[in-house]
Amino acid sequence: MTETLVVAKNLGRAFHDGAGRSTVLRDINCEIVSGARIAVVGPSGSGKTTLLHILGGLDRPTSGNIEWPGLGAFDDLRPRRVGMVFQSPSLFPALTASQNVDLPMILAGEDAGKDAGISLLASFGLAGLADKLPEELSGGQAQRVAMARALVIGPKLILADEPTGQLDSVTAQLFFDAVLHHLDGTDIALVLATHDNAVAARMATRWTMDHGQLIPGWPRNRVA
């Protein structure tokens, strides 16, 4: 049965700096249900990253309301129920690739046995890099480790900000193959911001951000 995970109503987000007030999001209304596959597209600066941060509880709106009926209380969102993949480097430099992947398990007080993390790294073609530090990884390899880390605990929602941004087109498709394979048959929802039209075309739903406003696209069948 489909479960409503996130409901946002009339969300707005403004920032204040030396130049005054800058409005990044305006009157956002959206809903995420279990099993959703949503691509968020739009030019740089349109508000995609800010929206993902608010959906994941990393930032608060300055107007409107957001609730997580299928995920629980705000303080319980991460790391157990929401997995995040950031556009900028996010691996802990003192931890190996496998230790970075295991971190959500440790923070959630669960047994961080090697099998789950190593299996996920292998699914992204990184089994041989499990003991490497982030400084020894390429940008694309580090991003794949970050996705494995987001998936390892089996959250209900994955929010990914440009996860293929540092990958060439062929590697991006292989990466996305691995992500969809891992999610296949699960109720985990995936929302990703992307500039990659080939990646966006494989999602069931497309949202377009335009000057801080969200324009929902028509749901359609995912291209295999």
Residue type at position 96: T
Q: What is the pLDDT of residues 156-196, one digit of tens each?
A: 999 999 988 878 888 888 888 889 988 999 999 999 999 98
Question: CB-based burial of residue 220 (10 Å sphere; 0-12 exposed, 13-18 middle, 19+ buried)?
Answer: exposed
Residue 177 CB burial class (10 angstroms; 0-12, 13-18, ≥19): middle
Residue 224 resides in a domain: no
Residue 88: the pLDDT is 80
Structural domain contains residue 134: no
CATH number at residue 171: 3.40.50.300
| Domain presence at residue 207 | yes
- Domain membership of residue 109 (yes or no) is no
- Give me the percent of the chain exceeding a pLDDT of 70: 94
Predicted structure pTM score:
0.90
Report if residue 38 sits inside a domain. Answer: yes
- Residue 99 reports pLDDT greater than 90: yes
Average pLDDT over all residues of the chain: 89
Query: What range defines the domain where residue 183 resides?
Result: 4-92+155-216
Number of domains in the chain: 1
Is 23 a member of any domain? yes
pLDDT, one tens digit per residue, over 195-204 is 988 889 999 9
Residue 164 lies in a domain: yes
Q: Is residue 146 part of a domain?
A: no
